[in-house]
Amino acid sequence: METSPVDLRYPIGQPEIPTEPLSNAERAAYIRQLAELPSQLTAAARRVGGIRLQDPYRPGGWNGRQVIHHLADSHLNSYTRFKLALTEDNPTIRPYDEQAWAELPDVEATPITVSLALLEALHTRWTNLLANLGEEHWQRTFYHPETKRVTTLDQALVLYAWHGRHHLAQVESLYQA
């Protein structure tokens, strides 16, 4: 039996976004994944080492430094999206050009420890927010103008827990290479 090759862009596969509300236990598991990401990413970056973080995780892909800085940028945006959805009625969120952000000079000039510390602080705030939401909050929504989709906070939670694991696997792949 032949196995299909792993798509290096998506080492853990594509996210499976729920169409129904999550249970409290499911939410708790996803919140735990977000809470654990900063320490897991820090440990992975240490295992890989500074020089290897300059390597792309796949041909044509970002290097490890770019992935780590991207996680800080992306999760900061997501935290803001959650706050907007909780305080406004179906706000239209602001997309950004992830590739352009990954190529800005701060990505090369800033030590990854800065983004790792940012992720630690950000995820502490974010998971404290998420752990204290009531059931009525999880179906609040935001609108993404690029995808033309309305997303519930349940769905965004699943997506960003996956997003963290996805990029963690990319960084870990540099250690395994």
* pLDDT digits (tens), the chain, 177 positions: 443 456 788 999 999 999 999 999 999 999 999 999 999 999 999 999 989 999 999 999 999 999 999 999 999 999 999 999 999 999 999 999 999 999 999 999 999 999 999 999 999 999 999 999 999 999 999 999 999 999 999 999 999 999 999 999 999 999 876
Query: What does the alpha-carbon distance between residue 135 and residue 12 come to, in Å, rounded to a whole number?
Result: 29
**DSSP SS3 for 56:** strand
Query: How many degrees, rounded to 5, is the angle at CA 12 between CA 121 and CA 78?
Result: 35
* CATH topology classification for 30-176: Four Helix Bundle (Hemerythrin (Met), subunit A) (1.20.120)
Domain boundaries, the chain: 30-176
Residue 151 backbone phi and psi in degrees, to 5: -120, 130
